[in-house]
Structures are given as structure tokens and as C-alpha cells.
Amino acid sequence: MNIVVLVKQVPDTATERKLDPADSTVDRAASDGVINELDEYAIEEALLLKEKHGGEVTILSAGPDQATDSIRKALSMGADKAVHLNDAALHGSDALQTAYALAQALGTVEYDLVILGSESTDARTGVVGAALAEYLGLPQLTLANKVDIDGTSVRIQRQTDEGYDVVEATLPAVVSVVEKINEPRYPSFKLIMAAKKKPVAKLGAADAGIDTARVGLANATTEVVDFAAAPPRAAGTVVKDEGNGGVQIADYLAAKKFL
């Protein structure tokens, strides 16, 4: 069972994140890069499946030079090897272009299953998994909170507002996961030390057979027309309990349609 996990480096959600005014893309210098949180769950799930079924876990990440930090962390969690797709031509690619580029890069790897987080904390489009499956011509199983593999098929629980759907497909397939699926492990020092010896294949656009006329900011299918900083948080409402605090809170929540 060879599994590829798609890992995106995103700006740390704990810091102030910015867009670059010059081209409206993410300002990666403004904050530390970390593994997209949901991708950590995808890595963990791949490692659990590997422990159960054997095989190899490969990390695939598209990103600039500094994405190597996140790739190293993914390897130190226990993945076996990595592919780093890094080309200036990819800068500013939108979700569809990224999916196309990743699909091309996947052509360099053997796999039975592709796992990724259901969305990233920076762009939050949540469409890369679906678009990738389309480009690859593979079944997509999204929003999984449980994944089981049985020989040639994969079965997931797709989380819904009411409960879950059971979705099944033949392998190979693309699965996106939600945070309820597992508890990602912390890297041990042994694996941290081992990570530096694990192979990381560096791919340029040409190596992956990517048509550079189809990627990058200039060819993007979507455009950031304008952006503004989030307004500062307004002062909250203080409920003073004069014997009817509970009622006041309930009224407040009802007015906001939470109740």
C-alpha cells in the first residue's frame, strides 16, 4: 500500500498573516511557515494505514524553498520519502492550477492512495482534492473521519452535519480528511535525526511535465481583485448578572440566531 500525502506549507495561524500588496499573493516572509494543520491529520492517517498494511508513505509538497522545513517535519513524523515540486513558474497558482501541477507531479510516483487535508488554513478553498481527482481521473472521497482499506478498495466515513455517509471506491483514489479522524503524533528525536537522511526528490515544472503556460499568477483562472485587513475585534458584550444572567445570555444568543 503506497500512499502519497499532499502537504502544504501555510503561514502560522498563530501569527498575523498578510498578503503581498504587489501581487495579492500570500506574503510568506511575514510569518513562519508551518504544515497546514489538516495535512498533519492526513500524514497521521497515512502512517496508521502503513502500520496496518505495510508499504511506503511519500510526502508531496508544492512550494518555494522554505517548504523544505515542512517537508522535513512530515518526514520526522515517520513518512519514508518526499517529492518537493518547486518552480518559480508556479508562484501565484490558484487552486485549480495547483491541482493540475500536483496531478502532474504524482505522475512521477507510484501510489495506491492519495490523502490530503480537506482544506488549507490560508486559502481555504477546499477544492484541491476534488480538482486533483478530476485531473487524475480517480474517485474522490472527501471529508473523511475514518478510512478503511480492504485489498483493492477504500471505504470512508464522510462527515456530514447530521452524522456520516459511508463512501466506497476502488483504488487508486483520492481521500481528503477532517480533524476528527485521528490525533497526529509528535515527532520523536530518533525520527527527527532519521529525517535528514530520507530522500527528497526535487522536481521543477519541466521534470513533472507541467505546461508552464497553464500555471502561475499570470495564467490563473481566479483573481484577487481587492483585499483589506480584518477590522480590529470590536469590544464584546458584558453580561452583568443581576439575578437574570442566564436569561440575558439566552436572549443574546437567540438574537444572534444561535438558539
Partner 1 sequence: MSHRLTPEHEDLRRTVEDFARTEVAPVIGDYYERGAFPYEVIAAMGRMGLFGLPFPEEHGGMGGDYFALCLALEELARVDSSVAITLEAGVSLGAMPIHRFGSAEQKKTWLPRLCSGEALGAFGLTEPGAGSDAGGTRTTAELVDGGWVVNGVKSFITNSGTDITALVTVTAVTGTRPDGRPEISAILVPSGTPGFALGQKYSKVGWNASDTNELVFTDCRVPEANLVGERGRGYAQFLRILDEGRVAIAALSVGLAQGCVDESVRYAGERSAFGRNIGHYQAIQFKIADMEARAHTARLAYYDAASRMLAGEPFKKQAAIAKLVASNAAMDNARDATQVFGGYGFMNEYPVGRFYRDAKILEIGEGTSEVQRMLIARELGLPA
What residues make contact with partner 1 under the rule CB under 8 A? 72-73, 76, 185-190, 192-193, 195-196
Closer residue to partner 1 (CB): 170 or 188: 188
Shortest reach from residue 180's CB to partner 1, in Å: 17
For 25-63, give one letter per residue: b (16+ CB within 10 A) or e.
ebebeebebbbbebbbbbbbbbbebbeeeebbbbbbbbb
Shortest reach from residue 196's CB to partner 1, in Å: 7
Closer residue to partner 1 (CB): 190 or 257: 190
Shortest reach from residue 185's CB to partner 1, in Å: 7
Residues 56 and 89 sit within 8 Å (Cβ to Cβ): no
DSSP code at position 26:
B
Closer residue to partner 1 (CB): 73 or 158: 73
Shortest reach from residue 189's CB to partner 1, in Å: 4
Give whole-number Cα distances, 205 to 65, 68, 69, 79, in Å: 14, 17, 20, 24
Closer residue to partner 1 (CB): 186 or 227: 186
Residues 111 and 172 sit within 8 Å (Cβ to Cβ): yes
Q: Which amino acid is at 146?
A: K
Residues 23 and 217 sit within 8 Å (Cβ to Cβ): yes
DSSP string of 45-66, one letter each residue:
HHHHHHHHH---EEEEEE--TT
Closer residue to partner 1 (CB): 18 or 185: 185
Distance CA 17, CA 48 (A): 32
Shortest reach from residue 193's CB to partner 1, in Å: 6
Closer residue to partner 1 (CB): 127 or 192: 192
Shortest reach from residue 192's CB to partner 1, in Å: 5
